[in-house]
Chain A
Amino acid sequence: MASDRCTRANRVTRRRFLGTITAAGLGAAASGWLRVPGARDGVAFAAPSLRRGGTLRVAEIGEPLTLDPTATTADLTSTITLPIFEQLFAFDHTWRIRPALASGVTVSNDGLTYAFTLRTGVPFHNGKTMTADDVVASLNRWGKISPRGPSVYQQVDAVTGSGNTVTMKLKEPFAPLLAFLTLPNGAAAIMPRETVDAAGTQPLKQFIGTGPYKFVEWAPDRYVHLARFDQYAARTEAPDGYAGRKDALADEIFYYPVSQVATRTAGVQSGDYDIADQINQDAYADLIKDARVDVGIIPGSFLTFFFNKKQGMMTNVKLRQAVAAAMDMQPILQATFGNPALYLVDASIYAKGTPWYTQAGASMYNIHSVDQAKRLAQEGGYSGQSIRWLTTQQYDFMFKSTVVAASQLEHAGFKVDMQVMDWASVLDHRNRPADWDIFVTSHGFVPDPALITVFNSAYPGWWDSPAKNTLFAQFTAEPDAGKRARLWGQLQGLMYQEAPIVRPGGFNLLQISRKGLPGFKASYWIVPWNVQAVK
């Protein structure tokens, strides 16, 4: 049973990486869900013991650049907007797709027509009832401005709606379509058509969704304030991951930008915050002994260094391979994450035991040979130019990994220009091909590899090789799961071959919450519903 696996995963084994729990399909541990001991798994929704009221206070890593859930892949935005907006579907804790605003979907045999049946009587925060028009407008907006949408919409012929059905016609089969529509990151969030029309291509000015909490106020640098939406149309199934029934127990939620992790941590310890996101892994040993906090471990993330393949020196594949060859992954991960139980040096993006596990490309992973790096650099015509590397101290692991990697590169004869700025500036600069050669970020667990940002030619880094495009198109068009798994192997191999990124390895995220916060389960994007506020 899912909960058994999760409980076992909870105990830290010093020598075992926590993500390698075997499971059929996508096990909960590998998928990004870990139970806090004592919290009930989604059996019967045991609401009676949890009372309503109070304020939930979440400490986040900083100020979001935008609150438009569709326009960015920044997890900070996804987390803050998660309670406000909903999508047609939602993932449960095993990353299975569950109905949310849609009550169901039928797919034609040729895989080209998706008919989504919408729920009726679902109100938006402004009182208007959701209609097919709103869904069509929202989906089209997603297809136009979201980071992942446009590449999907290349396959889309038309999206039409009438009554309570929305039909999406594709030009070619696209196997992971539902996963794309369900991911709450760069989300196909459903909002009123009027909001979509008013925004156009500009950033959203109004944040109106169907979620259990409505947007109240965004005081820049102080908080984002959400309040319970009393008319929320909840589902009836038991809560499970991001899906099922969402009860807005807390009256209000505040997301505070607390850019220093020490302050975030101290804040939960002293009771100022209920939940703190993104805690540095080094603190793990101390925090599990701390009687004031619960530690949530979220596996499945991996570290990434993205190369600029559109402009600049890294358009040369030999140079990219040279940089990859110069890096020694073990010290990078150890310096960045500290606790060996919280990171893994392994070529496979997906953990062992999952259907996407593969060692394809491992021969080009973690070569750490200065000689080979120098040879490749010479072949690539490296002549001492500075590699401009965007990083930030706001995400601790980004800065630390950059320091170690840059030092290794310098050791191998490269010159590195480490540009440390705030996260918002990194997000800004990485959109401009003239500004950088490498930037660092992390990638969370995604249930379908097609969602991984590196395969999206529009995502900064701009991996657009013919080989990738062909293989990726095959991967997304293929309906058979077994064949897809094989194609994935080829894709991962291609990734190590063409080196659009360097992936030092996988790691677990840490989240802390005050001890025994009723109903809270740590997750990649924080789930604040069904959680009882203490104050």
Chain B
Amino acid sequence: MLAYLTGRLFALLPVLLVVAVVVFMLVHVTPGDPARILLGQDATDAQVAALRHDLGLDRPVAVQFALWMGRALHGDLGTSLFLRIPVTADILQHLGPTVALSLLGLSVALLVGIPVGVVSAVFRNSWLDQFSLALAMLGAAVPSFWLGLSLIVLFAVDFGWLPSSGYRSPAGGLWQSLQYLLLPAFALGIPNSSLIIRFTRSSLLDVLGNDYIRTARAKGLRGRVVIFRHAFRNALVPILTVVGLTFAALMGGAVVTENVFSLPGIGQLVVSSVLRRDYPVIQGVVLMVATAYVIINLGVDLLYFAVDPRVRY
């Protein structure tokens, strides 16, 4: 087990290195001189040269990368061009809403996806099944921003049940925080539930057709017990894969949802940074998110490992 864990961790490192290289190159392939962008067009050449030296821009690219990586490993991701605060601080400030939204969105996706998938599998080929699948397909095709806008118009403006935008930290009251996150969570979760529906359905179908299930039924166990005790646990494994995939999709999808609902999360930070050309922030966020995703995937793999003994090798 430990060997497996360490093996996986080591396999992570090259991937993270690639991630870092990609992120680093994001800025350094930009046309234009970062130092000049920082100082503005009116700066003298002497000022620009001085800043370039300060920032280490006159060193070879490989050296620059090493320096940047070194700082990054210490948690120093540079300073925001626009807000003049450390990128790390900026990111941490924006982290809360995104984490809350992603978790809630994942919950929605699972709460909608798994039951529907189960129903679909159990009543396979019935009208219920077809209907669920059709809905799943539709859900996947709807752009999350469109869904978000429609939800706002319906629930926040027309019915007035929920707030239309903004964010309240859970620290100030869990229930209130939930109210602000509910619509975004649905806008995010529904399109992502379709994959879960389909995966749940197909893996459950697979498992239900297996011999040991028939044995269990032959033994006389009631249908529901069969499903929930035996089938479901085994169907969990592929579902976990999807959860990992979904989480990445959520973090990406959160960008658009945060924009529609004005949630001050990482997604909105990225978009405003792009619009402002605030490269240190863009780099920092992308690096952080990718790293988080890789680690979460590792976590999912470990869960996989724990849930299914057959996977151990």
Contacts and interface: CB of A to CB of B under 8 A. Distances in A.
Given A266-B165, A267-B166, A422 B42 contact: no
A214 B42 CA distance: 35
A422 B262 contact: no
Given A263-B261, A267-B164, A270-B164, A219 B156 contact: no
Interface string B159-185: 010111110000000000000000000
A266 B85 contact: no
Contacts of A267: 163-166
Residues of A contacting B: mostly: loop
Nearest to A205: B84
B139 to A, nearest CB: 24
A144 to B, nearest CB: 17
A293 to B, nearest CB: 11
Nearest to A432: B41
B40 A432 contact: yes
Contacts of B268: 221
A435 B41 contact: yes
B277 interface: yes
Contacts, number: 70
A392 to B, nearest CB: 9
A270 B93 contact: no
A473 interface: no
B307 to A, nearest CB: 39
Contact of B157 (A220, A270, A435): A270
Nearest to B153: A266
Interface string A214-237: 000001111000000000000000
B157 A63 contact: no
B294 to A, nearest CB: 26
A269 B90 contact: no
B78 to A, nearest CB: 15
Contacts of B277: 425
A424 interface: yes
A303 to B, nearest CB: 23
Given A425-B276, A425-B277, A256 B41 contact: no
B275 interface: yes
Contacts of A271: 163
- Most A CB contacts (10 A, CB to CB) among B40, B90, B164 go to B164
Given A220-B85, A270-B157, A258 B165 contact: yes
Contacts of B80: 220
Contact of B164 (A266, A422, A431, A432): A266
A452 interface: no
A97 to B, nearest CB: 36
B264 A270 contact: no
Contact of A272 (B82, B163, B276): B163
B240 interface: no
A269 B269 CA distance: 26
B20 to A, nearest CB: 25
Interface string A409-435: 000000000000110110010011011
Contact of B275 (A219, A220, A425, A431): A425
Contacts of A195: none
B114 interface: no
Nearest to B80: A220
Interface in B227-274: 259-262, 264, 268-269, 272
Nearest to A218: B83
A219 B165 contact: no
Contacts of B83: 220
B164 A221 contact: no
Nearest to B268: A221
A442 interface: no
A497 interface: no
A260 B262 contact: yes
Contacts of A435: 41
B94 interface: yes
A221 B94 contact: yes
Interface in A254-304: 256, 258-260, 262-263, 266-267, 269-272
A270 B156 contact: yes
Contacts of A258: 165-166, 262
- Most A CB contacts (10 A, CB to CB) among B156, B165, B272 go to B165
Contact of B160 (A220, A222, A260, A270): A270
B190 interface: no
Contacts of B40: 428, 431-432
Interface in A417-470: 421-422, 424-425, 428, 431-432, 434-435
Interface in A383-423: 421-422
Contacts of A219: 93
A421 B85 contact: no
B84 to A, nearest CB: 9
Interface string A481-518: 00000000000000000000000000000000000000
Contact of A270 (B163, B275, B276): B163
A202 to B, nearest CB: 11
A309 to B, nearest CB: 17
A80 to B, nearest CB: 15
- Most A CB contacts (10 A, CB to CB) among B80, B261, B276 go to B276
B156 A221 contact: no
Interface of A: 63, 219-222, 256, 258-260, 262-263, 266-267, 269-272, 421-422, 424-425, 428, 431-432, 434-435
Per CB-CB distance, the 6 closest pairs between chain A and chain B, nearest first, are A266-B164, A422-B275, A432-B41, A263-B165, A220-B83, A222-B264
Given A256-B166, A270-B160, 18 more contacts: A63-B272, A258-B165, A260-B262, A263-B152, A263-B260, A263-B261, A266-B156, A266-B157, A267-B164, A269-B157, A272-B165, A272-B166, A421-B275, A422-B272, A425-B275, A425-B276, A425-B277, A428-B40
20 contacts: A220-B93, A258-B262, A259-B262, A260-B259, A263-B164, A263-B260, A266-B152, A266-B157, A266-B165, A267-B165, A269-B160, A270-B156, A270-B160, A270-B164, A272-B164, A424-B276, A425-B275, A431-B40, A431-B42, A432-B41
